[in-house]
Structure 1
Amino acid sequence: MGKKMAVVGAGAAGSYIGAFLTREGHDLVLIDMWGEHVEKMNADGIEVSGSQGPFNVPVRAHHFSDASQLKDKYDIIFFAMKSYDTVWAAHFAKNLLASNGVLVSNQNCMNDLTLASIVGFDREIGCVMSGITVGLWEAGHVNRGGQPGRDRGHDVFRVGELYGRITPRAEEIAGLLSCIDGSKATSNIWGERWSKLTTNASSNPITAMTGLGSNGAAELPEARRLQIEISKESCRVALAQNFDVEPIKGITADVWSRANEGDIYEELDEKFLPTPGANDWKSSMSQDVTKGRKTEVTLMNGYISEQGVLAGIPTPVNTAITSVVDEIDQGTRQANVVNIKEVLTRAGIT
């Protein structure tokens, strides 16, 4: 008998994972809080479009209020909740997890230790999703932008144990996810997490606070400067804590940490220039702003700032951009290009 699986958090990433695994014939249910989305999935399946579509697959979906009555226990739970919903949703997921089951964190940010403290350190495994852009703009329909990683020699899914060993279950989960895109087990999940955190922190809030797409932001030298400064601060914090950060945009963390050096700055600036033919994609944080939802900025850039305090590393740009996006969350500021100058001012950069 095959393993029972669940996706807790059927947003863009969760719906995408669920659609592909269901299409492969796995016994899987999706659980989410958006009632219209749950109803649409049950009625018409999940519609997948974009660079790996189109296709439609019938699925089984439950609202959280109904899922609490499920009698099944799940061998593998793919956990794709927003970071600010981690704690309560992890307690919910724990009740659905089989005694020898594993919860796979497909989230942004650094939530693995929190999850492990709830479900058990032997029942949580990290999964970084690198270089994948997906959007859920309407109920029942998930879209992927950009070229699949496999087509460009890139492993999107990096699955790893918190203690750094490549285990059979890490390889098993990587194998499951390989039906979607390039996938591998890693012995450096923390280095992968810091690399992804840096990538997200340097891009997501830029498009979120400006209302621009990725190409529009890339055309602005001031936006690229913020991206370089955010990446520099993040890498300095990670290196100060002795993490072995995986390369970011093909460049080592040590180089990013020395971004203020003239020749290095020019090299890094090129990494953020517009890519010819690329979609003008909105980040997940920008999608949240567009939908009027809370963002993950305090658990992304804010986390870098908090860790910077602990490590004694200044993070003025991450602190400034966290405050600006948080004001958008609170409804006291609107997404606009002028927010770039506001962040530079608050960070003391002229």
Structure 2
Amino acid sequence: MRIAVMGAGAVGCYFGGLLARAGHDVVLIGRPLHVEAIRRQGLRMETATFDQAVPLRAETEASAARGSDLVLFCVKSADTVEAAEQLRPYLAADTLLLSMQNGVDNAERMREVLRQPVSAAVVYVATGMVGPGHVKHYGRGELVIEPATGDAQAAQALIAAGVPTEISANVRGALWSKLLINCAYNALSALTQQPYGRLVEGEGVWAVLEDLVTEGLAVAQADGVQVEGDVREAVRKIAVTMPGQLSSTARDLARGKRTEIDHLNGHLVRRGEALGVPTPANRVLHALVRLMEQAPH
């Protein structure tokens, strides 16, 4: 398959790199710092089972997606509409776009801009860019994707590349489950700059996590969402299975970058307002992270 990765950060580089290793024609579309490094020496992939430089193409412009069968869409949520509009002139009618982003409404926003098939994907992976053109994999790596034209071919390619992939009719419920986990941990990790394992050792933190999840489940119920799995148990497990992990929001804040908090706790606050469900704990964390974004660095 011809595959483009739009927004080739840690998630895009990891999955794009695996697909390139499996023999697919992959182009990474990303920031100049990473693109230049990948052009010089390939994409360095550091995982528990291999550490190697993977040769593949890297570009900075959306035009590099021309002729792609599949686009892994990995831009930050705030950039969704702009990035979709940049891609639009270069996509074939049957190009499948896989939204591999945080948040729960990115695929819907993409469909307002594009006529191509769009599939929302729930991404369960811990990765980070630890240097120019250097992605490190810390754990997991599964995908749950929404039914769409071309989904079977995409899933087959991903599975063959070593990515456990499931097609599910309730991706919305899985996206909300991940959203509630992110709303529990991301802002607290960002504001304290602490990894999950250390974070939960703080006085009163488990009670705050419980408040955040309870509010999120109430909003989901009012919104008619059938949340997948036991979110409270999933939140408890995160601190055990990923004790050294800093949230993506924490990394963005530390680098002085705009976070995705508007599409995490901020989304819950907005949906809660629309549905008449109070979300005081989520509102406080959203406001605090937004204030930290605006603080001088």
Percentage identity across paired residues of the two chains: 29
Query: What is the deviation of 1:312?
Result: 1.0
Letter in 1 for 2:126: T
Q: Is the 8 A contact 1:228 1:269 kept in 2?
A: no
Q: Which moved more, 1:51-60 or 1:167-176?
A: 167-176
1:51 aligns with 2:33: no
Aligned to 2:112: 117
Aligned to 1:315: 279
Q: Is the 8 A contact 2:34 2:132 kept in 1?
A: yes
Aligned to 1:296: 260
Q: What is the TM-score normalised by the length of structure 2?
A: 0.92
Rg larger in structure? 1
Find the partner of 2:178 among 196, 199, 205: 196
Aligned to 2:236: 271
Query: What is the deviation of 1:280?
Result: 0.9
> Aligned partners of 2:7, 2:235: CA distance in 1, in Å?
36
Q: Is the 8 A contact 1:234 1:304 kept in 2?
A: yes
Task: Call closer, same or farther: CA 1:233–1:85 in 2, change over 3 Å.
Answer: same
Query: What is the deviation of 1:224?
Result: 2.3
Specify the SS of the correspondent of 2:166: strand
Task: Call closer, same or farther: CA 1:326–1:270 in 2, change over 3 Å.
Answer: closer
Is there any run of 5+ residues in structure 1 with no aligned partner, and where? 150-155, 162-166, 257-267, 335-350
> Aligned partners of 1:77, 1:320: CA distance in 2, in Å?
36
Aligned to 2:153: 172
Query: What is the deviation of 1:317?
Result: 0.8
Q: What is the TM-score normalised by the length of structure 1?
A: 0.79
Aligned to 1:340: none
Query: What is the deviation of 1:51?
Result: 2.7
1:186 aligns with 2:168: yes
Aligned to 1:263: none
Q: Is the 8 A contact 2:121 2:143 kept in 1?
A: yes
Query: What is the deviation of 1:225?
Result: 2.2
> Aligned partners of 1:329, 1:116: CA distance in 2, in Å?
29
Q: How many residues align?
A: 295
Aligned to 1:287: 251
> Aligned partners of 1:284, 1:193: CA distance in 2, in Å?
17
Aligned to 2:89: 95
Q: Which moved more, 1:21-30 or 1:44-53?
A: 44-53
Q: Is the 8 A contact 1:225 1:269 kept in 2?
A: no
Query: What is the deviation of 1:291?
Result: 1.6
Task: Call closer, same or farther: CA 1:51–1:230 in 2, change over 3 Å.
Answer: farther
Query: What is the deviation of 1:272?
Result: 5.7
Letter in 1 for 2:52: F
What is the Cα-based RMSD across aligned positions, in Å?
2.1
* Runs of 4+, deviation exceeding 6 Å: none
Query: What is the deviation of 1:55?
Result: 2.2
